[in-house]
Amino acid sequence: MRRKLLIVVPLVLLVVALTGWGGLLLYRASMAETVPVLPTTTVKRSDVRVEVTARGDLQGGKSEMLTAPMTGVREMVLKSLRTAGELVNEGDVIAEFDTTEQAFALREAEADLAEAEQQVIQATAESEARAEEAQLSLLQAKSDVELAEIDMRINPLRGAIEARQVQLKLDAARDRLRQLESDLAARKATTEAGVAIQEAGRNKVKVKADVARRNIAAMTLKAKSSGYVAIQTNSNTNMYYGGMRLPPFQVGDAARAGMAVAQIPDLKDWVVVARIGELDRGHLEAGQPVEITVVALPDQRF
């Protein structure tokens, strides 16, 4: 029994020692710095080719800009508009704005003009009637003076009282003639002033009617030269944020006076406008070759 105990004790101590030694080795291995394993490959040297692709527009270098006219209103609504890229000739209608408001103003002005014309006619007729009446009164006064002067010639044959009465009659006739001659000039000036006032009112209304007609004509945009239609972007929006791409004008949109709605480029001089993304702009510089493909000619490169 004692012999067996002596054999077991050394074995247990040996196992404990080996376990401790193994743990120490594992601890040292875990504490040691791990050497990273980096992947490697064969280096190839060559030029890096970066291609930037962008969409854009083909425009004429010199263009005829069609803008919303100055009509005195804040905004105008497009009633009709040509399609982008459509070929047009000189005199063709490119865009039309709604003329309801201007047509109403024209009808009002024409009604006021007709009324003003009647007032001028009435004032002229009254002026002529008053002038004729004044001339008749003047002729009557002259006739009375002449009769009184004739009657005065036989005064020596009359009595003193009767002669005095004839003299007073002549003086009264002459006074009335002088008064009528003085009043005639004043009445003529008054009637002419009344007619002038009515004519001024008529001319004012006529100007309003002419302006309404011109506005209606200006709200139809026509091409002054042949070419194709390039629709402009509509910046008259209620919401805008940085980098937002504005939509082109279309029927029903509102335009402010002076805004460019469309343009007719000059087909003899072309300009390519491309929309480059912000990340691609760093790859571009002046003098780099460019290839252009037109949608209408997909098999050709320029």
> What CATH number does domain 58-98+220-283 carry, 2.40.50.100, 3.40.50.300, 1.20.120.1750, 3.40.640.10?
2.40.50.100
Q: Measure the CA dihedral 15/18/19/20, to 10°.
A: 120
Element (H, E) at 183: helix 160-218
Q: Is 225 exposed, middle or buried (0-12, 13-18, 19+ CB in 10 A)?
A: middle
pTM: 0.52
Sequence ranges of the domains in the chain: 1-32, 58-98+220-283, 103-217
Strand partners, 231: 262
Contacts of 78 (CB under 8 A, 6+ apart): 95, 96, 97, 98, 249, 250, 251, 252, 253, 254, 255, 261
Contacts of 187 (CB under 8 A, 6+ apart): 130, 131, 134
Read off the tokens for 85.
Answer: 């890229």
In the numeric block, the tokens 């072309």 are attached to 270
3-state secondary structure 213-278: HHHHHHCEEECCCCEECEECECCCCCCCCCCCCCCECCCCCEEECCCEEEEEECCCCEEEEEECCH
Residues 125-158: tens digit of each pLDDT: 777 777 777 677 667 766 766 666 666 666 555 5
260 φ/ψ angles, rounded to the nearest 5 degrees: -75, 125
CA 61 to chain centre: 24
Strands 260-265 and 63-67: antiparallel
| Cα separation, 144 vs 179, whole angstroms | 14
295 φ/ψ angles, rounded to the nearest 5 degrees: -60, -40
Helix (H/G/I), strand (E/B), else coil: 99: coil
Task: Give the chain's mean pLDDT.
Answer: 75
pLDDT of residue 2: 47
Residues 256-276: tens digit of each pLDDT: 888 888 888 776 777 778 888
In the predicted structure, residue 52 carries a pLDDT above the cut 70: yes
pLDDT-derived band of residue 74, with 50, 70 and 90 as boundaries?
confident
Strands 254-256 and 87-88: unpaired
Read off the tokens for 147.
Answer: 């009769």
pLDDT-derived band of residue 16, with 50, 70 and 90 as boundaries?
low
pLDDT-derived band of residue 1, with 50, 70 and 90 as boundaries?
very low
